[in-house]
Amino acid sequence: MSDATTDLRVQAGRGAQISAIVESILESYEQHSEIARIGGPEFPSTARVTAIANELLRILFPGYFVPHGVAADEIPVFTAEVVRSVAARLEQEILRAFRCMANGAGNPEECAARARAATLRLLRQVPAIRDILVTDIQAAYEGDPAATRNEEIILAYPCMVAIAVYRLAHVLYEEKVPLIPRMMTEYAHSRTGIDIHPGARIGGRFFIDHGTGVVIGETTEIGDNVKIYQGVTLGARSFPKDESGRIVKGIKRHPKIEDDVTIYSGATILGGDVVIGRGSVIGGNVWLMHSLPPYTKVVATVAHQIHTEEPAEDERI
């Protein structure tokens, strides 16, 4: 048998196996149609939403997130071009989100009007968002002795990207835009390691030092001048269920943090009825599921010092 004949038989055998695999995958699509989107309205694109989020950062911080500087006399034209581009693209992605959630059954004119209104509201909020971001930057500068200037904080501190994107996404969340706000904050999460749900309500002068591993849940409320460190979780304690055993959604599940609170690394605060009073300090690795009055300090068990005359082995610590 020639090599050519052998190759043809191998290819035919492989082709038959691939055909069988394709058939089994198609059967899976029919069996689990709840995780397939075939023939329905187009989803918003993760790539397009990410690009829009980056363009919005350029609007919030002109001259920072661009490959080259922007001259003062170029700012009017630059801003007009970016805002017009973002407006058109964001409106289309929001429209896709509304139509997708309605499974194509929504009134097209109503969906288009809602998409346009949500887009314009976000863009109108840019000056107000910049006002509060100035306070966040100032809190970072005053709260971190390693910070040397505002430019360093904007360009090198992951919290600024996470907080800025959150503040943008929160506006769309309040407009009840589906999908897009979560896509925006999950982009920031993947980029910074900081997970802020767009539904959280966060005051000014907010600083997350280091940031990696921070989780802030949907119904969290955070006052002004709050500082938290890496690994902090503001989460839910339990999930009430209805008569059918399904989790009840749309209720308060996450804590309230009042003004002037500091939460150190690794702390976990859980529960929708938990209120951390203003001016309190939560130490590292503290686990809390109850409220605290104002100006309370909470610390974890103090470490025990062990001294030996010889190097300590791991199992002896």
pLDDT at 4: 67
pLDDT at 165: 98
Please state the pTM of the whole predicted model. Answer: 0.89
Per-residue pLDDT at 118 exceeds 60: yes
Whole-angstrom Cα distance, residue 96 to residue 100?
Answer: 6
Predicted confidence (pLDDT) per residue in 205-225, tens digit = 999 999 999 999 999 999 999
pLDDT at 310: 73
How is domain 39-195 classified at the CATH fold level?
A: serine acetyltransferase, domain 1 (1.10.3130)
- Of 115-129, 134-148, 232-246, 283-297, least confident by mean pLDDT is 232-246
Predicted confidence (pLDDT) per residue in 297-317, tens digit = 999 987 777 776 776 565 544
How is domain 200-241+250-301 classified at the CATH fold level?
A: UDP N-Acetylglucosamine Acyltransferase; domain 1 (2.160.10)
pLDDT at 83: 97
pLDDT at 317: 45
Where exactly are the structural domains of the chain? Answer: 39-195, 200-241+250-301
Predicted confidence (pLDDT) per residue in 63-111, tens digit = 898 877 788 888 999 999 999 999 999 999 999 999 988 766 668 899 9
Predicted confidence (pLDDT) per residue in 236-267, tens digit = 997 778 888 888 888 999 999 999 999 999 99
